[in-house]
Amino acid sequence: MQNGKRIYLKRKLPDQDLIQAYRELPASNVADCMNRTGAMAPRIKLMSQPQKEMCGPAFTVHNRPGDNLTLYAALKYCHEGDVLVIDNEEDNTRAVIGEVMMTWLRDQRHVAGVVVDGPMRDIDSLRNWDLPIYAVSTTPNGPYKEGPGEINVPVSCGGIAVNPGDLILGDGDGVIKIARAEAATLLARAQAFHQKDDAKAASYHEGTGDLAWIDNELKHKDYQIIDDYYRPES
């Protein structure tokens, strides 16, 4: 076995109905139900203009930093509905993907989205695309094509661990990972949380929302409410 040059073709996948159900939920609500964990770092930003949320199983790629030979292999082996999750060891000097590769992924593979922990390029052609594309930044500087790299092994993307087949959910706020084994049990909780959050926003709109807890909490934490001006000299 060539460590560092392995391409696994098989992954355990989440059920399709789970993928559909999570697509209806804001990533923030689901992350709150994981005790505010599971989100990739804010450096992973939405670069395109999708009409709906990104949701699908992770097809993981571990690039040698700034190199995209392995990512080219992923173009061949990924499937419809996958979310490509690309670990680039946080290199921020070279774009590892651009319009040519994205065109294949959108038009020939019909992937659900692409998440790159690193720069991309050809943004002027891609920024209006409906395909969800997340990346750190852009640069005209291109990638090397030497390898090594691996496909469908555990990777690190946006500061969190992603296993092949984990559920990846992305919206305008960013991207979260839901571990495949936990996705089914988490769903009902996330749906209930989402309903409550919507109801809360509606009650704040109406002015009937509960604000009493704020005073209680401030008191409990020894805040001082001072009926006076701030005076720098005092």
Please report whether residue 104 would count as binding Mg ion according to CB under 5 A.
Answer: no
CA angle at 90 for the pair 85 and 91, rounded to the nearest 5°: 110
Q: What is the rounded CA–CA span in Å between residue 213 and residue 174?
A: 29
Q: What is the rounded CA–CA span in Å between residue 32 and residue 29?
A: 5
**What token pair was written down for 39?**
């989100």
**What token pair was written down for 166?**
């984990």
Q: By CB under 6 A, what part of segment 88-147 binds ligand OAA?
A: 97-101, 121-122, 142-143
Q: What is the rounded CA–CA span in Å between residue 163 and residue 179?
A: 8
- Output 25 or 111, the one with its CB closest to Mg ion: 111
Among positions 122, 138, 147, 184, the unique one binding Mg ion when judged by CB under 5 A:
122
Q: For 166, how many CA atoms within 13 A lie in the half-sphere containing its CB? A: 24
Instruction: Kindly determine how many residues on this chain lie close enough to bind ligand OAA according to the rule CB under 6 A.
Output: 10
- Output 57 or 98, the one with its CB closest to ligand OAA: 98
Q: What is the rounded CA–CA span in Å between residue 99 and residue 101?
A: 6
Smallest gap, in angstroms, from Cβ of residue 7 to ligand OAA? Answer: 18
Among positions 28, 68, 152, 163, the unique one binding ligand OAA when judged by CB under 6 A:
68
By C-alpha distance, which of 133, 128, 131 is closest to 117?
Answer: 133
Among positions 66, 98, 158, 164, the unique one binding Mg ion when judged by CB under 5 A:
98
- Output 90 or 99, the one with its CB closest to ligand OAA: 99
Q: Which does 101 bind (CB under 5 to 8 A by kind): ligand OAA, Mg ion, none?
A: ligand OAA
Q: Which stretch binds Mg ion (CB under 5 A): 98-106, 123-131, 163-171, 221-229?
A: 98-106
- Alpha carbon distance, N-terminus to C-terminus of the chain: 71
Binding site for Mg ion (CB under 5 A): 98-100, 122
